[in-house]
Amino acid sequence: MGTILNRRRVLRRGLIIQADGRITLRSLPVTRLQLSPGDGISFWLDAGQLYLFKDNVSESALKLSGRSGQLHCCSKATVTNILSVIPGITETDMPPKLELITSQELSHITIDGSTLPAVKVINRL
């Protein structure tokens, strides 16, 4: 007779950035922002808080690819800018892969008079 061992699944962070510029979004921000392959994303910094939002308007938006539930894009410049707002981590001492937490609830940010849904990227603990 077998034994069933129930254990909690390890909490997956919402966002992974890598030193080579790859940005991976896990299912939480993908579902909250209703993202799919081909959509664009951008990051917004407001009063020290970093936000991630769906951006299908801007030409500078990062285009997503991948499978539903886990999407990715690549931008070394964006990763460098994200690292600049995370206390205690610089580009020179960044591990090959850094996992960041995204908020579970939607926030709303205002950019150029437009209110957009966004998720917070927790860059301070």
Q: In this predicted model, what pLDDT tens digit does every residue of 40-60 receive, in sequence order?
A: 999 999 988 999 999 999 999
The model's pTM: 0.84
pLDDT above 70 as % of the chain: 86
With cut-offs at 50, 70 and 90, classify the pLDDT of residue 125: very low
Q: What is the pLDDT of residue 47?
A: 87
Rounded CA gap, 31 and 33, in Å?
6
Is the confidence at residue 7, as pLDDT, over 90?
A: no
Beta strand 70-74 with 22-25 is antiparallel
* Backbone φ and ψ of 79, nearest 5°: -60, -40
Rounded CA gap, 120 and 102, in Å?
6
